A and B are shown apart, each in its own frame.
Chain A
Amino acid sequence: MQDSILAVEGVSLRFGGVRALTEVSFEVRRGEVFSVIGPNGAGKTSMVNCVSGRYRPTEGRIAFEGQDITRLPPSRRAPLGIGRTFQNLALFGHMTVLDNIMVGRHHLLKAGFLRGMAHWIGGARAEEIVHRREVEDIIDFLEIQHVRKAPAGTLPYGLRKRVELARAIALKPKLILLDEPMAGMNLEEKEDMARFILDLNQEWDMTVLMIEHDMGVVMDISSRVMVLDFGRRIAEGTPDEVLAHPQVRRAYLGEAVEEAAA
């Protein structure tokens, strides 16, 4: 069978009396596009934050490639191969696009302070050339060549979303977490983004864990979908299976549908 890259087992997350997540379990298989959907406040972002390490689950266990990462700080998870983007844009506004992306390579840059000082003899220069080449590949791929020297804060929204994606890719993650990559985009931008995500998945061999509200996109590009409602997993399966699931219909369309159907 396909092996799992991420295994979430019985994760609960409480903030005081508020239960953001209740015993959520799922597996993401290597090489798939896995989407998490659900109404507002269902706990989707909380789930992603648990995986990226921003939140620590109150209960449960999260394993990445078989390694337990439940208690690992976020800065240690990135080098393992977990990259992410944020729901609300989180670029370093005063830095250029290029610098933003280079931060993403932080853990891959080996030359530390001292070797960096001896720029030309310590191999730091050769190293930088290799990195710059890979960064340029990413820039080409996302079609942001024309803004590479621009301060990220000055770019229009759609481009900023792409730069943020570029920064996450620069990490060379095996698993990339996308928190609403298409929120606030127009149709054309959404199509571009969907294409980028598919390419990432197929050509760059990244497993994608995505939160998205646009049902059309989710159903088109996902291998499997999980539905959360009030912090609980109510369904999981292929897009078609999930769409047909009665509880999903209730969560999305309200009780009335069920009553009408009954």
Chain B
Amino acid sequence: MEWALLLQLVLNGLIVGALYGVVAMSFVLIYKASQVVNFAQGEFMLVGAWVCWWLLTRWQLPFWIGFPICLAFMTLFGIIVQIVVLRPLIGEPVISVIMATVGLSIFFQALMKWMFGVFAQPFPPIFPAERISLFGLQLQSVYLLSLALSAVIMLGFWWFFTFSKHGLAMRATAFDQQVAQSLGVSVPRVFAMSWAISAVVSAVAGVVVGVVSGVSSGLSFYGIKVFPAVILGGLDSIVGAMLGGLIVGVLENLAQYVDAQWLNWGNMTNIAPFYALVLILLIKPYGLFGTKNIERV
């Protein structure tokens, strides 16, 4: 009985963790390409989820049409945010850029509330069966979809960075913009591309979360949860982001279990990842897979 519960919790942790991982990857993507810490990542999820919800309920589009339209919109969204807000900030101090993304986060948070209201809205049902059972474990079918999507996105990222021309150009840009330019890589285009991909991937995660628990501004809290995942894995490591996400997801669920069984504090789920974050920063400040900058003097 106990073990079944624990197993279920670990499984939930991995599923939610995979989502964290996906958002963390899109966060890392932006950081890698343009050295910008994007505090508005959670709002990217929020915007994606709301737009998809709007297409599905207001326009009554079926999921398989509405979802791609939503992703196309997010591509544009990412590019426009990059061009309008971040491109003018190239070369400005890091703190200014970070403040701009914090501003973006507040702006979109408010804009979404204004446009869609403050109440959580459920997605129309997408799958015929709400739940399915697998080896005696209960699984929401959406979670299965989310797991599959996460896996596809991960593979996509891996393929993109290892084999595609643009992935290579992005890695080159991350390393040295001047040199990349001299080799014919258009740096503004790489930046725009990284923001577009990041926005799209975040939106996928946002839609999945929205389908599971309804769309509301609380969704952007994921963006904050993603920080421990990213720091744990290392700010500039895609693999690290994914692993960090999984670890944070499992940690959350286990913390909830411990809390419910013995502590009864009632909020460990939300706080445990941040305790872990503090510990990691104390012990391994570059994260598990992050690049340590070693310079010869």
Query: Are B187 and A75 in contact (CB-based, < 8 A)?
Result: yes
Query: Are A106 and B185 in contact (CB-based, < 8 A)?
Result: yes
Residue among B168, B171, B179, B181 with the highest chain A CB neighbour number at 10 A? B179
Chain B 171-229 interface residues, beta-carbon cutoff 8 Å to A: 171-172, 175-176, 178-187
The B interface, classified by DSSP as helix, strand, loop or mixed, is: helix
Interface size on A, as a range, is 20 to 34
Chain A residues, CB < 8 A from B291: 94
Chain A residues, CB < 8 A from B186: 73, 75-76
Least Cβ–Cβ distance between A115 and chain B, in angstroms? 10
Chain B 141-175 interface residues, beta-carbon cutoff 8 Å to A: 163-166, 168-169, 171-172, 175
| Residue A95, interface by CB 8 Å | yes
Report the separation of the CA atoms of residues A107 and B114 in the bound assembly, to the nearest whole angstrom: 45
- Interface-located stretch among A31-39, A97-105, A195-203, A207-215: A97-105
Query: Are A111 and B175 in contact (CB-based, < 8 A)?
Result: no
| Residue A43, interface by CB 8 Å | no
| Residue A53, interface by CB 8 Å | yes
Query: Are B181 and A74 in contact (CB-based, < 8 A)?
Result: yes
Quick one: CB contact mask for A87-117 with B, threshold 8 Å, 1 for yes?
Answer: 0001011110001001110110101110010
Partner of A75, one of B163, B164, B185: B185
Report the separation of the CA atoms of residues A86 and B181 in the bound assembly, to the nearest whole angstrom: 12
Quick one: CB contact mask for B275-292 with A, threshold 8 Å, 1 for yes?
Answer: 000000000000000010
Query: Are A90 and B179 in contact (CB-based, < 8 A)?
Result: yes
| Residue A79, interface by CB 8 Å | yes
Query: Are A103 and B168 in contact (CB-based, < 8 A)?
Result: yes
Query: Are A92 and B178 in contact (CB-based, < 8 A)?
Result: no
Query: Are B176 and A103 in contact (CB-based, < 8 A)?
Result: no
Query: Are A94 and B175 in contact (CB-based, < 8 A)?
Result: yes
Query: Are A106 and B168 in contact (CB-based, < 8 A)?
Result: yes
Partner of A106, one of B163, B169, B176: B169
Partner of A113, one of B164, B179, B182: B164
Query: Are B183 and A109 in contact (CB-based, < 8 A)?
Result: no
Quick one: CB contact mask for B249-285 with A, threshold 8 Å, 1 for yes?
Answer: 0000000000000000000000000000000000000
Given contact pairs A102-B168, A103-B169, A109-B165, a sample of 7 additional A-B residue pairs in the complex whose CB atoms are under 8 Å apart: A75-B187, A94-B175, A94-B291, A106-B168, A106-B183, A107-B184, A113-B164
Task: Identify the 7 closest CB pairs spanning chains A and B, nearest first.
Answer: A78-B184, A107-B184, A74-B181, A75-B186, A92-B175, A109-B165, A90-B179
Instruction: Please give the residue numbers on chain A whose beta carbons come within 8 Å of chain B beta carbons, in ascending order.
Output: 52-54, 73-76, 78-79, 83-84, 86, 90, 92-95, 99, 102-104, 106-107, 109, 111-113, 116, 119, 167-168, 171
